Amino acid sequence: MSLRIGDDAPNFTAQTTEGEIDYHQWLGDSWGILYSHPADFTPVCTTELGRTAQLKDEFAKRDTKVIAVSVDELDSHHEWVKDINETQNTNVEFPIIADVDKNVATLYNMIHPNASTSATVRSVYFIGPDKKIKANITYPASTGRNFQEILRVIDSLQLTANYSVATPADWKEGQDVIISPSIKQEDVEAKFPKGHKVVKPYLRYTPQPNK
């Protein structure tokens, strides 16, 4: 199954390092990051899970729950977490799914047979409070993820979900944003009281509305 932006995020029950969960119930009204790892005790994954743990406060600030999935067993996960905590100087406090039967990996199309018939690629799914896929990023197993980009995408998704704006290339939190083309020019001043700049009729900038 190929999941696309706007699709419902499939629900599942699974054993994790934090106990059994029903994914949708666990997510509640929060935003979610669901991301896959090819295997336990692998070097790139160790750095990624460590980085996730180090960014705990950043995800919490964005009301975003993170959960990882690997196709290895629960006992293996627990042993691996010890290594992650030691080598990355952190404390993993988010759940890691034991997906031995590859149920979650299959639901979220994380196994790409042309790359590997058993190990997952590095997929990241951004899931909204409405349990729909808002964005996804996929890397090969050899390329570690950029967590500043993951945070940037969350910031953009949350901003654009609440205001009639889009974020331009290389946008970062606090920078100007683009006014949606659906907003008529005569309505711009009332809707964006911080002011705006017209570069072209279709390209209008305004300060970030929630700053």
Whole-angstrom CA distances from 49 to 40, 71, 82 are 11, 15, 12
Q: Is the pTM of this model over 0.75?
A: yes
Rounded Cα distance between 65 and 73, Å, is 22
Q: What is the pLDDT of residue 114?
A: 58
Going by the DSSP 8-state scheme, the letter that residue 97 receives in this structure is: E
Q: What is the pLDDT along the chain (211 residues), one digit of tens a residue?
A: 589 999 999 999 999 999 999 999 999 999 999 999 888 999 999 999 999 999 999 999 999 999 999 989 999 999 999 999 999 999 999 999 999 999 998 899 887 665 564 566 689 999 999 999 999 999 888 899 999 999 999 999 999 999 999 999 999 999 999 999 999 999 999 999 999 999 999 999 999 999 8
Rounded Cα distance between 203 and 205, Å, is 7
Domain boundary assignment for the chain? 13-145, 163-206
What dihedral angle (degrees, nearest 10) is formed by the CA atoms of 134, 127, 139, 175?
60
Element holding 138 (H helix, E strand): strand 133-139
Q: Token match 């896929």: residue?
A: 133
pLDDT, tens digit (0-9, with 9 covering 90-100), for 58-105? 999 999 999 999 989 999 999 999 999 999 999 999 999 999 999 998
Q: What is the largest CA-CA distance in the chain?
A: 61
CATH of domain 13-145: 3.40.30.10
Return the closest-CA partner of residue 129 out of 4, 9, 47, 1: 9
Domains 13-145 and 163-206 share a fold: no
Edge-to-edge order in the sheet of strand 31-37: 19-22, 13-16, 96-98, 64-70, 31-37, 122-127, 133-139
> What's the N-to-C CA distance of the chain in angstroms?
39
User: Three-state DSSP class for 166?
Assistant: strand
**Which residues are catalytically annotated?**
45
Q: Which CATH architecture has domain 163-206?
A: 2-Layer Sandwich (3.30)
